[in-house]
Amino acid sequence: MRLPDLGGSRVDGLFVPPFPDPHPKKSSLFWRFVRGWNSWIHVLFQKSYTMKMGEIRTPGLHMYIANELPLVKRIMGEWKDFPKHHLLVRTLDPAIGNSVFSANGDDWATQRAMINPAFQQTALARTFAMMRDAADALVARLHALDLRQPVNIDPLMTHVAADVIFRTLFSQSLGEADARRIHNGFNRFQRHAQSASMLRFYRLPSLGFFGRSRRAADDIHAVFAHIVRTRLDAYRTNKDRGPDDILASLLDARHPETGAPFAYDDLMGQVSTIFLAGHETSASALSWALYCLAGDPETQGRARTEVLAAAGDQPLSADMLRQLPFLRQIFRETLRLYPPVAFMPREVRCPTQMRDKALQPGAMLVVSPWLIQRNPEHWPCPHAFNPARFEDPANKATIRDAWLPFGAGPRICVGAGFATQEAVIVLATLLRAFTFHPAPGAAPEPVSRLTLRPKNGVRLVLKRLV
């Protein structure tokens, strides 16, 4: 079966949102470089979606892609034997340094123990009001726009997601200028980091792309570095930890053996990790969720009916969220089709046998939610947008084993519940205020770098309901 192109289509009455049409066969070394310059998923070929384990060689890297579920479970579970690949760590260093996301082995375990208390600040009951306020502020920004013209909702989703994290981290809302700076800065960071990675894979000079990614990261850090520095100085001077937020918990954190607190650079690394991981992935998922709803009026209508039945025109409450199961399924289906982190690279530490392949130390071993979650062996009509599949008890095992947008194993993302509550609040708030329709012209094109994003944004036509 020929897979749909970027224009989107319908299969068996289901909306199929856009994704790159896979190539009929594996790309040559040259075309792999050209196609991977901007996006990893554009290198994939038809067999990529069904193979058990693939192998790719470049001049600077030996890479394997493990799609067989028992292998995936082993790789993600044995986190010490398969740490995050050193090339990924180097790529992320300008943005997050040596933090809990990029650290490996005992260093990761120590950092995780230090920051665990900070995650108490993300308790769903504690953050509900912050998320609702950020969603209401988003609606106000949309009402202020000229909605006679299509709206690029991608930077707006970055703003609301970053606003939620900003309130949780720093007890402050995020202004429009800083939100724009973050959106543009992270887009630049990803683009330059992608180019630098491809050049390293081919043992070519970085041509300044690594330096450009560092400057883009510095631009993002400038939005909140002064907050971290001011709070740290106050804490060191008179033990004033400021508001009871994530930053306050990080200021209190101590090394389990030495009792030492985070130094400024280490503190910035942890803050940057929580901020970037916490907003970028949610922003990506929200943009794609709104596009899928715009392309599927029936699903959009059912979701709006559910929200109105639960909340009417009253302010959202935590109890109301429990009455929105279909909206949660929409978010889960969006994460299946467009996992924000589409590829998870790990490193082989010791000689390892997997299937018929002998993996040597230093090789890159990739687990790909993008491929696993679009594999027809796991998911019927895998490229179609069908939230109802998550309501079917027959899919319980598949959902458990072949749905991993938050990763798996001991290093699974601790923010899964946070992200789900945030998405439900934002989507419910928007569905009560607007209808969404695809804008005329080209459909959004997904590109996969560090995260999965629409290349030129997502343009939608919004119509006011209130």
Output the known binding site for heme.
413
Q: Please state, in angstroms and rounded to a whole number, the distance separating the CA atoms of residues 286 and 426.
A: 8
Do residues 262 and 428 touch, judged by C-beta distance below 8 A?
no
Sign of CA dihedral 127, 129, 132, 136: negative
Q: Please state, in angstroms and rounded to a whole number, the distance separating the CA atoms of residues 110 and 254.
A: 10
Q: Which amino acid is at 446?
A: P
How far CA 140 is from CA of 8, 143, 160, 443, in Å, comes to 31, 5, 11, 26
Do residues 190 and 450 touch, judged by C-beta distance below 8 A?
yes
Q: Please state, in angstroms and rounded to a whole number, the distance separating the CA atoms of residues 356 and 66.
A: 12
Structure tokens at 121: 């600040």
Q: Which amino acid is at 39?
A: S
Tokens 């491809």 found at: 198
Measuring CA to CA, which residue among 109, 55, 49 is closest to residue 348?
55
Q: Give residues with Cβ within 8 angstroms of 429, minimum separation 6.
A: 132, 135, 136, 138, 139, 316
| Residues annotated in a binding site | 413
Sign of CA dihedral 285, 464, 302, 315: positive
